[in-house]
Amino acid sequence: MSKMELNSQVITDAAKSGKLNRGLRSRHITMIAVGGAIGTGLFVASGATVSQAGPGGALVAYLAIGCMVYFLMTSLGEMATLLPTSGSFETYGTRFVDPAFGFTLGWNYWLSWSTTIPAELAAGALVMKYWFPYSSDILWGAIFLALMLILNVLSVKSFGEAEFWFAGIKVITIIIFLVIGLLMILGIFFTPAAGFHNFTTGEAPFKGGFFAILGIFMIAGFSFQGTEMVGIAAGESENPEKHVPRAIRSVFWRILIFYVLAIAVIGLIIPYTDPSLLKSDVDNISVSPFTLVFQKAGLAFAASLMNAVILTSVLSAGNSATYASTRMLWSLAKSGKAPKLFTSVNAKGVPAIALYTNIIFGFLVFLSSFVGNGVVYIWLLNMTGLTGFLTWVGIAICHYRFRKAYVRQGRDLNQLPYKAKWYPFGPLFALALCIVVIIGQGSQAVSEGAINWYGMLVSYISLPIFIILWLGYKFIKKTKVVPLEECNFNRDDL
């Protein structure tokens, strides 16, 4: 049988069985992990972190969150290599904690990414205003949504290829930024040398003390969210036992280099007192910290360059959001936690009905931003404020019980395809830091002893929703915590 005939047979079998195709290669998995962590959080929001906590405070926050993400990735990697499934932590929550916990993690994650789609459509429209100031937001939203649909409906490989090139553009931009920044700091080709004085000017390197750093934790956490998508992608990897560990081993060092060095360059070249650092946003690319550094280096086209890069980041985030929300909805349906019609896959092994549902939902939410001052849209986005951290809490809990159950059942840890280091410190550290960040989320709503109750509600609205989903499913289905002796490690049941 020829290779073409074999591929055709695989596609046909996938459609008949209702299973997804394993079409993601090693480079796809690695770039999905790296690309998920690099976006507007680095290109835009990093300036605000330096301004609020000083260059040293921003570095400490990103280092701490980076270490936490590394431990979460190793935890997820240990589970995903043994049990590769697009349900990922929804499946692990069901098998190793409680079916109600899995149900809640799945719908929490779906909500997080399904509302990211309209957010990225709105951001993309704002970015296009830089070049076409009088164009229609709805037009650009429709164009970008059509692109996301095409990239996801063709095959999982087309999604992987798009993410590979989207992430590649971001990586190249950061490398160029770091090289130019280092030359400016040392005074090579650029005079006078930027030096290191901005790192100690005024209150620097640490401005505002511990609580300022705590406030940056949330921003840093949002920047890193998306790295856990490697767990979703493992379900469609050609060789998850090999590809997932490779991605996890590389992602920490790349995140460390890209984020920490980029923050250091920004803090050394631009004083934290520069008011432009607080003004950066997707609709104000001219004061992005990356743009400011490139302009100081004499690149006249810096704003246009960064606008194009940020547009790439927005499209990448929207593409990933479409993929993740579609796979999670499909997985929820496969496990009986969502309507069965979402289990349908097309001839390419893509869960088409789940995809179309997310596309329609995303565009309706996007349109709601133009109705009634966007109240519904704003509240939907606020609901997802903590969902990423709640997902990370779930991953830490799942892995802690996964390893406990594995040992309790007399299994050999050396038989694991990938073994997370630093257990149990890793998941416990990640769990503790996530809880600290979640609690600290409402700190900005407290000013000089006065509490902004609306701000508190906005900050924590996703937490009671998470609890209601969990306890509601538990009450209706009468679920119980799965005993360690009964946790299911059978891959055939996926």
Residue, of 254 and 365, whose pLDDT is higher: 365
* Residue pair 73/449 in contact by the 8 Å Cβ criterion: no
pLDDT of residue 481: 95
What percentage of the chain has pLDDT greater than the value 70? Answer: 91
Across the chain, mean pLDDT equals: 85
Q: What ranges in 225-285 are assigned the alpha helix state H?
A: 229-233, 240-255, 261-269
pLDDT-wise least confident of 84-88, 408-412, 425-429, 479-483 = 84-88
pLDDT of residue 327: 92
Q: What ranges in 187-239 are assigned the alpha helix state H?
A: 209-224, 229-233
| pLDDT tens digits, one per residue of 283-332 | 666 667 888 888 888 887 888 888 888 888 888 888 888 999 999 999 99
Residue, of 371 and 469, whose pLDDT is higher: 469
How far apart CA 81 and CA 220 sit, in angstroms, is 27
CA angle at 348 for the pair 347 and 353, rounded to the nearest 5°: 75
Token pair recorded at residue 141: 């939203």
How far apart CA 258 and CA 163 sit, in angstroms, is 18
pLDDT-wise least confident of 77-86, 189-198, 310-319, 402-411 = 189-198
* Residue pair 14/349 in contact by the 8 Å Cβ criterion: yes
* Residue pair 14/20 in contact by the 8 Å Cβ criterion: yes
Nearest alpha-carbon partner for 117 in 358, 419, 283, 280 = 358
Nearest alpha-carbon partner for 119 in 303, 383, 354, 469 = 383
CA angle at 277 for the pair 449 and 296, rounded to the nearest 5°: 160
How far apart CA 159 and CA 178 sit, in angstroms, is 29
pLDDT of residue 409: 95
pLDDT of residue 285: 60
CB atoms within 10 A of CB 384: 20
pTM for the predicted model, two decimal places: 0.89
Q: What is the pLDDT averaged over residues 414-441?
A: 90
What percentage of the chain has pLDDT greater than the value 90? Answer: 31
DSSP 76-90: HHHHHHHS--TTTHH
How far apart CA 89 and CA 94 sit, in angstroms, is 8
pLDDT of residue 35: 73
CB atoms within 10 A of CB 39: 26
Nearest alpha-carbon partner for 230 in 425, 404, 27 = 27
| pLDDT tens digits, one per residue of 115-148 | 888 888 888 888 888 888 888 888 999 999 999 9
Q: Which amino acid is at 158?
A: S
